[in-house]
Structure 1
Amino acid sequence: MNLHSREFDTPKDRDEAADLLGRLRAWAESASPEEVADLDPGLALLVTGQSGSYPALKRAYPEDFTIDDAYKAQMPDLQNGPSSLIRGAKRAIQHVGISNFRLPVRYHTRDNGDLMLETSVTGTVSLDAEKKGINMSRIIRTFYDRAERTFSFDVMEETLDAYKENLESFDARLQMKLSFPVRKDSLRSGLSGYQYYDIALEVIDRDGVRTKVIHLDYVYSSTCPCSLELSEHARQQRGQLATPHSQRSVARLSVVVEDGQTLWFEDLVDLCRQAVPTETQVMVKREDEQAFAELNAANPIFVEDAVRLFAQGCQADPRIGDFRVVASHQESLHSHDAVSVLTEGTTFEGASLEPRLFGTLIHGG
């Protein structure tokens, strides 16, 4: 039943109001929650002392419930709310979006093969100072709309266009990280195995200008030239057996691909191998281990040498524009690492070092 206050006189004083409330609560004790809600949902807390302003709620999941456009239209959407809902400084945000959204993506290889590889996606857009937020699921939905196609920078740009339009943003960035397998032969035994390369593709849209970047981590062994010479000195002068120190090292090459150019992942791997040939091995027998020791002795290298050799390879490739080389030699002599950064052009310039930059260059077994 529904009762309306207009049928009753207003209580004369507090005592009369308390008496009416007591009678109402006495009735509520014998009534069902549905009857209390039917009386007036807004009075449920007053009458029953329930925690909350809603009547008793259903606890079973409504499997048969469906929604229509009218229902969706009335659902709250705080992210697209007015600027009055903004908390903190009303400033434009350079990047907001999703990170490590994973899905299988097809990649085309240099030898016309296709690989389906798990890919981690980061997608961000800019946000105007007067906007509360974005619908992040739109980034994922936009990406899934194109996920079945063979991926290239062209498809990434198409995806970027779509979610810039959907989210009405002025700048955007899309990055895909993957582990790319390349078959590598051993040095002397004839064995072969897969070397995996951490690669990231990035498309940056800023002030209407598009930039395409490939990031590659290359893992190699570095033999210290100083230690090599000191070891040979001990052998020659004192007949003392000594070994130079060498260590696993990592270089991260970030290269801008020039407009209209195609730079295959395998091309960038070949560039690294030619610059610093002491890449860590996959399949090794005794003859390979001996060959690797000889290869390291033939190519002793400081970290300064490493970044300059990689830079020389980048400068010689007309498909590569701006670039950055970050190298870390994780030394067996010292309890610290030897590091170096070399940049070309304005794309990767920066006065500040990201605090964990070199720490991300550690590749565990």
Structure 2
Amino acid sequence: MNQQALVDVAAVSAPCQGALHWVGMEQIALPLRVAGQTIAGRAAAGVNLVDPLARGIHMSRLYLALAGLDNQELSLVRVASVLETFLESHRELSNAAFLDLSGEALLNRPALISPLSGWKTYPFTLRCRRDEHGLQAILELTVGYSSTCPCSAALARQLIQQAFDERFTDTPVTHDGVREWLGGEQGIVATPHSQRSQAHLSIRLANGLDDLPLAAFVDRIESALGTALQTAVKRIDEQAFALANGQNLMFCEDAARRLHQALRGQAGIEGFRLRVVHAESLHAHDAVARSEWNWAGS
């Protein structure tokens, strides 16, 4: 059989001409290494199409270039190299390249007191752009934590005071008597309500960063909040967690302000936008607060 040249319809001019802002692929399966762990990632890759006469781009070239990230520690240096390959393979067609990488970072977190530890996932998306202005990178990150309502804590304390008055109005107040009362079911008659909460952050990374400081950002965020969600625990850890919640009473406004101050002091950040969500246990709706710094125009 005679071998004939395969038809390339993409090589002809477009029937309907015009430049396009973005052409590429989404939901590409890609193994990524983040903080030393291999995860199942997803990629969205593309370039713009500035030649109005071109029928399309070379999508297979984008797909093959992603091999530069296979099972390699995710870094801005490697992402920049892939984006450069995108542009080199589309000379005269494109002058901007895009790459979004998403997944769930897997970090091992220690218990508060005991020697136990366990794995936690942190959903993220790294959005990178390369154009005539250079490389721009934004890291979107979600971190879970616990929040205890200051109002419910105050109301609970008031009820405990009332119960104390009822118990000891006509009874001598002694150290042993109060201690026994506090440890019984009739002592702490009310408890504050708390909820699992989330911080959603978009962080514009500083120029010149080579590595992706995702783990460092998580450490900074969890330290600022003081009530990180736990993995494997013993009772001593659960007690320490209760203490941490009691010492870090937070409305959503408090959490947002804590994070704002913490991120302002973190190296490698040029700007950020944050949103905290407290999925209330009292109400059927969420409490939400937002804040941003140096974000206009991002």
Structure 2 residue 230 is the aligned partner of structure 1 residue 230: no
TM-score by length of 2: 0.81
Output the CA distance in 2 between the equivalents of 1:175 and 1:128.
21
Secondary structure at the aligned position of 2:15 is classed as: helix
Secondary structure at the aligned position of 2:283 is classed as: coil
Q: Tell me what 1:298 maps to.
A: 247
Which runs of structure 2 are paired with 1:26-37 in the superposition (5 Å)? Answer: none
Q: Tell me what 1:180 maps to.
A: 105
Structure scoring higher RCO (CA < 8 A, sep ≥ 6) equals 2
After superposition, give the CA deviation of every residue in 1:245-297 in whole Å (9 maximum; x if it has no partner): 21111112222222223452221111112211101110123222222112111
Q: Tell me what 1:83 maps to.
A: 14
After superposition, give the CA deviation of every residue in 1:300-341 in whole Å (9 maximum; x if it has no partner): 111111122111111112321111112111111111111122
Which runs of structure 2 are paired with 1:160-239 in the superposition (5 Å)? Answer: 160-167=83-90, 168-238=93-163
Q: Compute the displacement of 1:190 (Å).
A: 2.6
Q: Compute the displacement of 1:185 (Å).
A: 1.6
The structure in which a higher percent of residues are strand is 2
Match of 1:117 among 39, 46, 50: 39
Q: Compute the displacement of 1:237 (Å).
A: 3.0
Q: Compute the displacement of 1:219 (Å).
A: 0.5
The gaps in structure 1 that reach 5 residues or longer are: 1-64, 350-365
Secondary structure at the aligned position of 1:84 is classed as: coil
Q: Tell me what 1:50 maps to.
A: none
Q: Tell me what 1:144 maps to.
A: 67
Output the CA distance in 1 between the equivalents of 2:20 and 2:199.
31
Q: Tell me what 1:40 maps to.
A: none
Q: Compute the displacement of 1:100 (Å).
A: 1.8
Q: Tell me what 2:178 maps to.
A: none
Q: Tell me what 1:334 maps to.
A: 283
Letter in 1 for 2:213: W
Structure 2 residue 215 is the aligned partner of structure 1 residue 266: yes
**Structure 1 runs of 4+ with >4 Å offset:** none
Letter in 1 for 2:24: G
2:145 and 2:222 in contact (8 A); partners too: no
The gaps in structure 2 that reach 5 residues or longer are: 165-187
Which structure has the larger Rg? 1
- What is the RMSD computed on CA atoms of the aligned residues? 2.5
Secondary structure at the aligned position of 2:5 is classed as: helix
Q: Tell me what 1:288 maps to.
A: 237
Structure 2 residue 26 is the aligned partner of structure 1 residue 105: no
Letter in 1 for 2:114: S
Secondary structure at the aligned position of 1:71 is classed as: coil
Letter in 2 for 1:125: V
TM-score by length of 1: 0.67
TM-aligned CA distance change 1:309 to 1:145, over 3 Å: closer
Secondary structure at the aligned position of 2:89 is classed as: helix
2:39 and 2:106 in contact (8 A); partners too: no
1:171 and 1:208 in contact (8 A); partners too: no
Which runs of structure 2 are paired with 1:44-83 in the superposition (5 Å)? Answer: 70-72=4-6, 75-78=7-10, 80-83=11-14
Sequence identity percentage: 31
Structure 2 residue 91 is the aligned partner of structure 1 residue 159: no
Q: Tell me what 2:180 maps to.
A: none
TM-aligned CA distance change 1:119 to 1:238, over 3 Å: same
Output the CA distance in 2 between the equivalents of 1:148 and 1:196.
18
TM-aligned CA distance change 1:94 to 1:243, over 3 Å: farther
Letter in 1 for 2:27: N
2:75 and 2:212 in contact (8 A); partners too: no
Secondary structure at the aligned position of 1:137 is classed as: helix
Q: Tell me what 2:49 maps to.
A: 127
TM-aligned CA distance change 1:242 to 1:149, over 3 Å: closer
Q: Tell me what 2:193 maps to.
A: 245
Secondary structure at the aligned position of 1:200 is classed as: strand
Output the CA distance in 2 between the equivalents of 1:216 and 1:346.
16
Q: Compute the displacement of 1:129 (Å).
A: 7.3
Q: Compute the displacement of 1:150 (Å).
A: 4.2
